[in-house]
Chains A and B, each alone.
Chain A
Amino acid sequence: MSITLEQVTKHYGGHAVVNDVSLEIGDGEFFVLLGPSGSGKSTLLRAIAGLIGVDHGTIAMHGRDVTRLAARKRGVGLVFQNYALFRHMTVADNIEFALRVRHVRGRLRRERRRELLRLVALEGMDDRFPAQLSGGQQQRVAVARALAHKPEVLLLDEPFGALDARIREELRRTIREVQRELGITTVLVTHDQEEAFAMADRIGIMNLGRLLEVGVPAELYSHPATRFVATFLGDANLILARRAADGVHVGAATLAAGEAAAAAREQEVVAVVRPEDVEVAASRAELGARFVAQGTVDELTFTGALERMRIELENGAALLAGADNGAIPHLQVTRTQHEQRGFVVHPGQSIAVGIRRMHVLPTPLSSFTACAADEAQAEALARAPLLTELAARMKTRIATRAEPQLGAGAPAAVRTAFVGATVLASGPQAARRAAWLLEAGAGEVLVLPAAAGTPQHVLVLPLDEAVRSATLAVAASVLRHVPAEAQYLREAHAGQSGGELAQQLARALAAVPEPMLILGITGLEGFAERCGALLEGGRWPVLIVYRPAGRTPA
């Protein structure tokens, strides 16, 4: 492995900018770190270059630990967005800088310079000053300069950010050619997914300081594992579907569950449907794909090769995830010229909508349902700041549900199953109500104090080995969406009796600012005694993951 990162973490002002990143980059690989601005990708690149130290974790290059090694001894070449050329030096002096530092003889320096200028197609520009060159040419000089000392790793920090589209394309090709010719391990940082697709052997996607997914471009596009990656890599419709024994139900259609195993228990899942995987036709009979729902064309945009459409689905509110403050989400569709000619549509037209292909995300948190004894309380709960923030970050919706019997006696058979995470207000009866919901079939219950803010620390504790993987999966899902630090508590707590456990957890929660607790349990005996103090104090949000023995794990 050329570069190996292990649990790299970097804080700025108490905030983890790079959070627990582990990654391996192979010899000669072109790796792209992709993410929105502020996702920590540039910080990670600088850490690899050695320009900033890390607070935790190790960085190794070619098997050698370089975590504490100064940048100048790491043997890397770095290219900046704004070129960072030495303006008082000629192109030749810029390129030879690294060689002069190393006291390389004049003749060898000139040879190397000529070779590099040929490589970046700038022959004969030796005596120009940077200001006499165009942006694209300056960046070529910067690439040549970064390669002069034959580094083992080339790092590029948004190298095309300051260039216009045509030059960008050209320089992209040059860099890819240079990289292939030299076989040098390269890491490029960008926020542009098209650029990432065009250049990468593999892409790593970062958000909120975490490295979410790593994979080859086509695989990440067709089989993302997270909502963020699905929506960041191109457009995506996030659909709330139901997975049952016979497949995945989307509206009127039942599609094959695909690679994800069918669940014994009916369960809500999040599915990704790319805009190009939606088919529209005049009627249900004319659809080639499975019919999902009837819809109305809301908006039509011509963009050249593709036509973009926004469709209002008849049952869109139930089907589509995405909580845009109550606005009904639309289905995004793109059609090729060929499809457009086959069936011309107009805004306002009623059409049949089918789905050719979809991909079910393995995420355990699909949507939220605010639950209270009556509708008014449920609606008030649905407006809680932390809940709306979580839902917005997860691009999912918050439903409401009134359960008049909530917490009273044993739950009778409930009318409809609980799906997604059920949210409950923190308060005096919270423990009894949570137990009631869990018994009634809710898999995840979030007990929410009204004033809870965005968590900064997430404490995770599975109380039983059997619920460990489910708890960690839920925790990972939460941590992907909030910039918090995870703290995994030891299962030694599990054996403790009722009050002791609550006391210890309360101490752990009180020790950190803005904590949230994710607790995995397998049984409900003594639940109220064990956790009552945590749920009823109204101080901390607690997410309970319940996987009773006997119930098939998801």
Chain B
Amino acid sequence: MSFRKPSVLPGFGLTFGFTTFFLSVMVLLPLAALVLAAASMHWSEFLRVVSSPRALGSFRLSFGASALAASINAVFGFILAWTLVRYEFPGRKLVDALIDMPFALPTAVSGIALTTVFARHGWIGRYLEPLGIEVAYTWLGVTLALTLISMPFAVRSLQPALLEVQRELEEAAETLGAGRFYTFRRIILPTVLPSLLTGFTLCFARAVGEYGSVIFISGNLPMKTEITPLLIVIHLEQFDYRGAAALGVVMLLLSFVVLFTLNLLQAWGRRRQLRAAH
């Protein structure tokens, strides 16, 4: 396998060098510093910090709520994208622009907005409370916030893929005797699956790293509604720099494992599609 591949654009050496440099400075170097900081700890101390019940609780919440939020977005983002791609309706452009709002809004603003609506006396919260559903200051609120801020990723990944699904494919399936659900399962889903995975991955990654919007709505009860990024900040505020680094390293590892797995899945899906396309 050759490193250099002929390309219409010259300057492969220069661009490759720049890419390596840029990635090193922006991504690898800070990460290395983090690992180094944690490495200065004793092994037993590291274990004590990251396996404390409070830390474990925060991992569970951070990754669990993120996975849940990404799943919710995979389903509802799909529906949103489908509606935007398939139907002409008044205000479609406006809805399309609204999708990007969570990108643009400072996350703290999203958090405050959500809290206002879902707090016990908020617009929606006051109707949920009699039903025994509490959103603000519970894990539900955390999931809600993560769902909101990661939603654009799911929609924007799926839109181009859905544009590819020609209506004729569905019509062909219909004349061949397939019902709607069968057509969805056997024709539409397999076609958009790679994009759905991409969307899920992006949502998940975004949600795991989220801080601003969550801290307002979660209430930050240790063991219950405390996310790992917040726990790290708490360690920092107590000048426990090494403890914070230890938690950061675990988060880094877990995120890497999850993202790497998802990437493998995607690559597998893409290979399948590539095979189909050649």
Contact = CB atoms under 8 A, between A and B. Distances in A.
B176 A98 contact: yes
Given A87-B191, A88-B190, A88-B273, A49 B278 contact: no
Contacts of A97: 173, 176, 178, 186
Contacts of A474: none
A71 B179 CA distance: 10
Interface in B230-278: 272-273, 275-278
Q: How many A residues touch the partner, as a band?
A: 20 to 34
Given A84-B168, A88-B272, A72 B178 contact: yes
Given A88-B191, A131-B277, A132-B278, A101 B169 contact: no
B175 A146 contact: yes
Contact of B176 (A51, A82, A88, A145): A145
Contacts of A321: none
Nearest to A131: B277
Interface string A60-95: 000000000011111011101010111111000000
Contact of A71 (B166, B175, B276): B175
B33 interface: no
Contacts of B277: 87, 129, 131
B133 interface: no
A86 B187 contact: yes
A51 B278 contact: no
Give the most central of B166, B171, B191: most A CB within 10 Å. Answer: B171
A149 interface: yes
Given A87-B276, A88-B190, A88-B276, A80 B172 contact: yes
B177 interface: yes
Nearest to B179: A72
Contacts of A78: 171-172, 175
Given A86-B187, A87-B276, A87-B277, A102 B171 contact: no
B169 A86 contact: yes
B190 A71 contact: no
A397 to B, nearest CB: 43
A52 to B, nearest CB: 10
A404 to B, nearest CB: 58
Interface string A245-286: 000000000000000000000000000000000000000000
B276 A102 contact: no
A51 B176 CA distance: 12
A77 B187 CA distance: 18
A25 B17 CA distance: 70
Contacts of A220: none
A71 B278 contact: no
B103 interface: no
B177 A72 contact: yes
Given A71-B171, A82-B166, A84-B171, A129 B179 contact: no
A148 interface: yes
Interface string A129-146: 111100000000000011
Interface in A99-140: 101-102, 129-132
Contacts of A88: 190-191, 272-273, 276
Contacts of A89: 276
Contacts of A131: 276-278
B177 A102 contact: yes
B143 to A, nearest CB: 33
A149 B178 CA distance: 12
B45 interface: no
A49 B186 CA distance: 21
B182 interface: yes
B272 A76 contact: no
A149 B173 CA distance: 12
Nearest to A102: B177
A107 to B, nearest CB: 20
Contacts of B190: 88
Interface in B144-180: 166, 168-169, 171-179
B276 A101 contact: no
Contacts of A101: 176-178, 182
A73 B179 CA distance: 10
B175 A129 contact: no
B257 to A, nearest CB: 29
Most buried by B among A88, A98, A101: A88
Given A76-B175, A78-B172, A84 B278 contact: no
A101 B178 CA distance: 6
A154 to B, nearest CB: 11
A261 B175 CA distance: 49
A86 B182 CA distance: 14
Nearest to A132: B278
Nearest to B189: A88
A130 B187 CA distance: 14
A70 B176 CA distance: 11
Contacts of B187: 86
B260 to A, nearest CB: 25
Given A82-B166, A129-B275, A132-B278, A72 B175 contact: yes
A51 B177 contact: no
A98 to B, nearest CB: 4
Contacts of A82: 166, 168
A507 to B, nearest CB: 34
A305 B190 CA distance: 52
A129 B172 contact: no
Contact of A84 (B172, B273, B276): B172
A97 B170 CA distance: 13
B176 A149 contact: yes
B176 to A, nearest CB: 4
Interface of B: 166, 168-169, 171-179, 182, 186-187, 190-191, 272-273, 275-278
Q: Which 7 A-B residue pairs are closest in the complex by CB-CB distance?
A: A98-B176, A84-B168, A84-B172, A78-B175, A129-B276, A101-B177, A131-B277
Given A72-B178, A72-B179, A86-B173, 14 more contacts: A49-B175, A51-B171, A71-B174, A72-B174, A73-B177, A80-B171, A84-B171, A86-B172, A86-B187, A87-B191, A87-B276, A97-B186, A101-B177, A145-B176
11 contacts: A51-B171, A51-B174, A51-B175, A72-B179, A80-B172, A82-B166, A82-B168, A86-B186, A89-B276, A129-B275, A145-B176
